[in-house]
Structure 1
Amino acid sequence: MLPRPTALSWLWLSLAVLVVDQVSKHIVLAHMRLHESIPVIEGLFAWTLAYNEGAAFSFLADAGGWQRWFFSGLAVVVSTMLVLWLARTPRGDWKTALPLSLVIGGAVGNVIDRVRFGHVVDFIDVHWNGSHFPAFNVADSAISVGAVAMIVLGLFGGKPAGTGR
């Protein structure tokens, strides 16, 4: 009997997220100075180069350096667990595979930054009436969209494809 096809083929999406993330960061680093801001939509959106040594919303950014390796290790462990989850997921179960693949690609993108630079490169700056959302990047967006999709599709997506349940 042939092994059933798994959702590991969805890792192409993780790779695409990783490539777009790293290329966008390379472009920003090559053309902008730290804290430089280039308005895209006045009063709403700008490219602003920032470095984040912590986690989401700069959590533990000033912790002294240990957080670089902690968050890198955590992302590697979580990504490995998500790849194993993909390996047990039927290929046709896109409601599981899509969000997992987005999170994996984003997590690996930010790990690369932490290992290379000691911080994550952020550059997407959304603001309104003087209030700024913390700067983020393509990897952060993929992680957020993947996590929300996992919750929404898990709650409202019905039964996974190919499970026979």
Structure 2
Amino acid sequence: MKQIPKIILEPKLSLSIQYILLENNLPRWLIRRWVSHSIKLARNFISKELKKVILTIRFVDETEGKELNKLFRGKNYATNILTFPYGIENEHLSADLVVCLPIIHKEAQEQNKIFSNHAAHIIIHGVLHALGFDHETETETIEMEQLEIAILKNMKIENPYKEIY
């Protein structure tokens, strides 16, 4: 008897986006697209089944970014993204992402990257952290970067690690 392949359904996405800054040129539909693609392509590498992903993305200024980074990581500077994963319960994954737009603008300029492409990369990076990916070891770093490259390529966005890979 021929075995029927298991169909992996894409988890439902509940996405809340908070803008602390009035000047934000990243529309909600585009952010949702980046997050959805991340989940869709990464789900094949996740051992647990997910029925729902609940994410809040908060866009902050450098002051709030610095305060949160100091409070939660002990680092006295603003960083591009902070991920707060809350784990998986009843096949529902929840996490908060805090994105510091001024840092992303600064990095994009310094690295000669298109702002929206760099923002996509950083948000994808944060979503992967929420899904359980990390870069504590060289193997984990390579795996995570390769997945980021694949997700970005799927959306026709240039490889941010082109000097490395």
Normalising by structure 1, we get a TM-score of 0.31
- Select the structure that is richer in helix: 1
> TM-score, length-normalised on structure 2?
0.31
